[in-house]
Amino acid sequence: MQINVGGWDRILRIVVGAVLIALAAFGQIGPWGYIGIVPMLTGIFRFCPAYPLLGMNTCPMKKPE
């Protein structure tokens, strides 16, 4: 599992995930808001399983040669 989420992408994922979970916990948007766990975890672990399938990488780190 290589790091493929970096910088602003990571911060945005964590913030959006936390906001969705908080809104769901306070009953503002319903239980579907708990889906926010997905972007939050991908931001925390810095790996998005969809990125390799799409050929994407937002992490500025160089790959080892």
- The domain containing residue 45 runs over which residues? 7-54
Within a domain: residue 25?
yes
Number of domains in the chain: 1
What pTM was computed for the model?
0.83
- Inter-axis angle of helices 37-45 and 7-25, nearest 10: 150
Within a domain: residue 32?
yes
Residue 58: half-sphere exposure toward Cβ, Cα within 13 Å: 17
Within a domain: residue 28?
yes
Within a domain: residue 64?
no
Within a domain: residue 62?
no
Q: What is the distance between the alpha carbons of residues 52 and 5, in angstroms, rounded to a whole number?
A: 11
Residue 61: half-sphere exposure toward Cβ, Cα within 13 Å: 11
Q: Which stretch of 8-12, 27-31, 38-42, 51-55 has the lowest confidence by average pLDDT? A: 51-55
Residue 20 is classified by DSSP as H
Within a domain: residue 39?
yes
Mean pLDDT, range 30-55, rounded to an integer: 94
